Structure 1
Amino acid sequence: MKWTKLPERQDDAPRVKNHTAIFYENSLYIYAGFDGTRHQNTLHALDLRNYNWTRPTTCGPTPLARNGHTATLYGSEVYVIGGWNGNLPYATEDIYVLNLKTMFWEKIIPYGEAMVACNMHSADLYEDKIYVFRGGDGSNYLNDLHSFDIPRRVWSKIDAHGNHPSARANHSSCIHNHHLYIFGGWNGIERLNDLYVLDLKSLIWSKPRTHGEIPCPRAGMSLNSLNGKIYLFGGSGVSSACYSDLYIFDPKTLLWSDVHTNQDTPTPRAGHSFTVISCHKLLLFGGSCGNQYPTTYYILDLDPPPQLQPIPPPEDLRLHIRSLFNNPSFSDIKFIVEGRAIYAHKVIITMLSEPFQGMFASGMRETREGSIEIKDISYRTFLILLKYLYTGEVEISAGTEGQSLSTESIIEIMHAADRYLIEPVIIACEHMLIERVTNENAEVIKGCVENIHADNIKSYCDWKIRYKNEF
């Protein structure tokens, strides 16, 4: 699990909190929010292929500026519900839909029961309905549950049973399987850290007994379901202190875990968005901490590519014997490779390579005569291996004689290094090869190294194959 800080484009990126974020066709759409001075109704788009910001042109009846609203993606349409626009009666009672293909806004007048005002609520899509846990209406904290049937455009109040959540706003929610999870929030007196679950098939609420490292009370955090786990990030606590911690909740074991990641941890914030952008990545954007509005944004990779081992440094002894590399002085064995002589010293190469040791211990006539022909390895490849034994340095270019180093050549060197059990050369080749692995050739390269002790590049190829359909 790894955080990566994305390039900052401060002139183009919006500075907002309590906005909404939608991922659609390689772009992240940021809508509305509060910038510390006024409410917004601008639509921004971040192209995740090049991290360029744009402001798409829309048409139709544009919603009023707002924050604390929700936005839910259904196909290519974004349903914006409620929010606060700073004018009486504070919380709005409207639903707008933006078609991301045509960029046309439409105001929906739902059928069924009367639409209710909602602000700092939550909205989650399950099957063809958006489930809204109301939160606040601008003056009260509430815990009523509603649904919007998208195909029928019907608004309904849901009478669920069981152990209901208490009234709250600025909570967080997500859908996992057929369950709606509600966590934390603010009830007008204190921040909360309780967890409630609604079975969307039976419409029964429950409060599971969780254990482990339970997050402290907070509001304005994010909650996301991905790959069988639920991820909680950030929020604000006592005295509006903001957090940058990350927790994982396992719905099967009811266990909370505090996750410690790499050094690029995001700055503390609340009122941010944390959007799923692939089957193993989430993008953190915006929010605030007091009067600070971070412009940095991050990607959390739940399954980053495997890291290669560092190439071992040269050993001190080899600094003294490097002058003997391919030097006929004191040489007691000569290798003939592609008709060319390569000079070596038995005591050196047998000390550093078990296969060479076995070769000379076997009593072969060639070893006694001082000359061995190597038939199935190229001259330049054998020279690379021998140079490592004398210097402790991996110089893949050694002996290439101006020839370009192809992927096939790197794999050939790996096979030879594996044959003579020279692991650092294999690792160096992995470092070179990993830059050449693409979605298109990952399976081929993995097949070429299948019989080599090269677990790093195999793992990386597996990772590429797993996510080969991503941009």
Structure 2
Amino acid sequence: MEEIKKEIDVSDWHSNLAYDEWTPLPVPGPRASARYKHAAAIVDEKLYIVGGSRNGRYLSDVQVFDLRSLTWSNLKLKPEASADNIEDGSLQEAFPAISDHRMMKWGNKLLLIGGHSKKPSSNMSVRFIDLETHVSGVIDASGRIPVSRGGHSITLVGSRVFVFGGEDRNRKLLNDLHVLDLETMTWDVVETMQPPPAPRFDHAAAAYSERYLLIFGGCSHSIFFNDLHVLDLQTMEWSQPHVQGDTVTPRAGHAGTTIDDNWYIVGGGDNSNGCLETLVLNMSKLVWSISANVGARHPLASEGLSVCSASILGEKILVAFGGYNGKYNNDIFVMRLKPGESSRPKIFRSPAAAAAAASVTAAYALAKSEKLDFPPAVGNPTPNGIGNGDSLSGKDLSNRIETIKEEKRELESRIEEARSENSKLREKTDEVNSSHSELSQELQSVQGQLISERSRCFKLEAQIAELQKALESMESIEKEVEMLRKQKSELEQQEAEEATVQRQGSGRGGVWRWISG
């Protein structure tokens, strides 16, 4: 970390940053406590950090970092007033200790969805923090409410929030998809086609072009993923497109944020090593690239960190905080992004669309190469502005039309060939999808068996522990029984001795009586 520290002018820090390089920000005063699995959002050049975990303890504070003054402050929340509280005179908790939740800005509020807490509920909770009044509370939602979970993803598309995957309070892995309509606060289950991503948690999700939902990475209880899945929100079909560019290592606990067509992925790991590279996915071209690297054991090579995007005086920057890589972190890192041109959307074309586009391109190229220029009409000026004065005869015009028709038939024949080839490609794609579906089902079956076996192992371990306790109890009982036996033996021996003494005493008394008599 020392090699990237630089002297930064606090009053004008954003203009002194190098492009595409992570730089720690100086914090002159107190800092927020180190943590991971928190939630973060930037509103009006302020970074809000809510909850998280540290040393197995859930946190309930809300910390605010001012990106202009580079200072931390603690946001004091007030509980939402309700009729129940007024009647019983109680003061409810303003905000619970929570971890592995997700947060987003909606209007003048921060919405917190899901997460783990000391008082878990069976259904997914939606909490709010009003940034104007600092009031916090729970939003009542209706509909088909999903089960409570942590490690899930939330993605805002218009006024709908898509929730995917996660891990419920019984550690069951999920790959279901739910949607929350923020206008009506109504939950619903999203029915999709094609195999969805395998159950996972601590993955990343993003939306592109208000139409596509992207899921990247994450893990099960034993496997770390580096796959990319895409859901078309119009057709509700899952796909796993071919992605080009740099090799991406499996990871979970990473953080992501989007700027224009680019999806930035920071941190994560596999419980053994942290990921050192900052990834960028060009979502319009589906190409991975690496924009920055950090050293081993760097705070950004952590799991459970957060990353947000901000604009400071027109400069687009990434802001990262927290995480765990053997130690808990509370540093603020920023990266200044190079201005780039926004590329045209080209995302996720099907084989049919690609073949059709290729056919049109080929036809255009053929027409251009053969110079199919139409002659000027009779009496119209030529391109140089001089009157032609001549006219085509009926025979010449007929020949020219016939030539054009022949060329048209040739183009149509080539387009038909392209369609035939596209049909073959579609059949191959269907075969691959069918094979992938079978493999996915088999994988899910194996994973289900593993989960059941793991559950059985847990039960057996619990039974073994109970038997060990019983054995220990039996040993103590046997010791007590042995002690009682010894005590009984000693008592019996003592009683026998006393009886002997009594018999001897009674005999001596008789003799003395006889002598005295």
Q: 2:204 aligns with which of 172, 175, 182?
A: 172
Q: Deviation per CA, 1:101-140: give whole Å up to 9, x if none.
A: 1111121121111342111101111100111103111220
Match of residue 241 from structure 1:
273
Within 5 Å, give how 1:67-86 maps onto structure 2. Answer: 67-86=99-118
- Give the letter aligned to residue 33 of structure 1: G
- Tell me if the contact between 1:84 and 1:92 (Cα under 8 Å) persists in the aligned partners: no
Say if 2:34 is the partner of 1:21.
no
Say if 2:152 is the partner of 1:126.
no
SS at match of 1:230: strand
Within 5 Å, give how 1:102-113 maps onto structure 2. Answer: 102-113=133-144
Give the whole-Å Cα distance in 1 for the aligned partners of 2:119 and 2:185.
Answer: 27
Within 5 Å, give how 1:57-206 maps onto structure 2. Answer: 57-61=76-80, 62-86=94-118, 93-138=124-169, 139-178=171-210, 179-206=212-239
- Give the letter aligned to residue 321 of structure 2: F
Q: 1:283 aligns with which of 300, 315, 319?
A: 319
Match of residue 454 from structure 1:
none
Larger strand percent: 1
Distance verdict in 2 for CA 1:117–1:261, change over 3 Å: closer
- Give the letter aligned to residue 167 of structure 2: G
Match of residue 330 from structure 2:
295
- Tell me if the contact between 1:134 and 1:145 (Cα under 8 Å) persists in the aligned partners: yes
SS at match of 1:185: coil
Match of residue 268 from structure 1:
301
Unpaired segments ≥5 residues, structure 1: 306-471
- Tell me if the contact between 1:94 and 1:115 (Cα under 8 Å) persists in the aligned partners: no
Say if 2:84 is the partner of 1:48.
no
Give the whole-Å Cα distance in 2 for the aligned partners of 1:26 and 1:135.
Answer: 30
Match of residue 383 from structure 2:
none
User: How far 1:37 sits from its partner (Å)?
Assistant: 4.0
Give the whole-Å Cα distance in 1 for the aligned partners of 2:222 and 2:74.
Answer: 39
- Give the letter aligned to residue 52 of structure 2: G
Larger helix percent: 2
Give the whole-Å Cα distance in 1 for the aligned partners of 2:287 and 2:102.
Answer: 28
Give the whole-Å Cα distance in 1 for the aligned partners of 2:274 and 2:234.
Answer: 36
- Give the letter aligned to residue 337 of structure 2: L
- Give the letter aligned to residue 133 of structure 1: F
Distance verdict in 2 for CA 1:258–1:205, change over 3 Å: same
- Tell me if the contact between 1:163 and 1:207 (Cα under 8 Å) persists in the aligned partners: no
Give the whole-Å Cα distance in 1 for the aligned partners of 2:322 and 2:105.
Answer: 19
User: How far 1:159 sits from its partner (Å)?
Assistant: 0.7
Structure with greater Cα Rg: 2
Give the whole-Å Cα distance in 2 for the aligned partners of 1:73 and 1:218.
Answer: 26
Q: Deviation per CA, 1:310-338: give whole Å up to 9, x if none.
A: xxxxxxxxxxxxxxxxxxxxxxxxxxxxx
Within 5 Å, give how 1:402-413 maps onto structure 2. Answer: none
Q: 1:222 aligns with which of 232, 251, 255?
A: 255
User: How far 1:261 sits from its partner (Å)?
Assistant: 5.8
Within 5 Å, give how 1:202-213 maps onto structure 2. Answer: 202-213=235-246
User: How far 1:269 sits from its partner (Å)?
Assistant: 1.0
- Tell me if the contact between 1:8 and 1:295 (Cα under 8 Å) persists in the aligned partners: no
Give the whole-Å Cα distance in 1 for the aligned partners of 2:64 and 2:244.
Answer: 39
Give the whole-Å Cα distance in 2 for the aligned partners of 1:153 and 1:209.
Answer: 36
Distance verdict in 2 for CA 1:251–1:304, change over 3 Å: closer
Unpaired segments ≥5 residues, structure 2: 1-19, 81-93, 341-517
TM-score by length of 2: 0.55
- Tell me if the contact between 2:294 and 2:301 (Cα under 8 Å) persists in the aligned partners: no
SS at match of 1:125: strand
Give the whole-Å Cα distance in 2 for the aligned partners of 1:38 and 1:210.
Answer: 39
User: How far 1:28 sits from its partner (Å)?
Assistant: 0.6
Q: Deviation per CA, 1:38-62: give whole Å up to 9, x if none.
A: 1011111001110111111211253
Give the whole-Å Cα distance in 1 for the aligned partners of 2:104 and 2:32.
Answer: 22
- Tell me if the contact between 1:41 and 1:63 (Cα under 8 Å) persists in the aligned partners: yes
- Tell me if the contact between 2:31 and 2:330 (Cα under 8 Å) persists in the aligned partners: no
Distance verdict in 2 for CA 1:48–1:133, change over 3 Å: same
Give the whole-Å Cα distance in 1 for the aligned partners of 2:34 and 2:294.
Answer: 25
Q: Deviation per CA, 1:233-285: give whole Å up to 9, x if none.
A: 11012x43212311111223221112346999854211000001127211000
Distance verdict in 2 for CA 1:8–1:37, change over 3 Å: farther
Distance verdict in 2 for CA 1:240–1:67, change over 3 Å: farther
Give the whole-Å Cα distance in 2 for the aligned partners of 1:24 and 1:36.
Answer: 29
Q: 1:4 aligns with which of 4, 7, 23?
A: 23
Q: Percent of counterpart pairs with the same letter? A: 27
- Give the letter aligned to residue 139 of structure 2: I
Match of residue 360 from structure 1:
none
Q: Deviation per CA, 1:16-52: give whole Å up to 9, x if none.
A: 1000111111211100000224101111100111011
Give the whole-Å Cα distance in 2 for the aligned partners of 1:160 and 1:76.
Answer: 33
- Tell me if the contact between 1:193 and 1:216 (Cα under 8 Å) persists in the aligned partners: yes
- Tell me if the contact between 2:203 and 2:253 (Cα under 8 Å) persists in the aligned partners: yes
Match of residue 359 from structure 1:
none
Distance verdict in 2 for CA 1:147–1:56, change over 3 Å: same
- Give the letter aligned to residue 251 of structure 1: M
Aligned length: 302
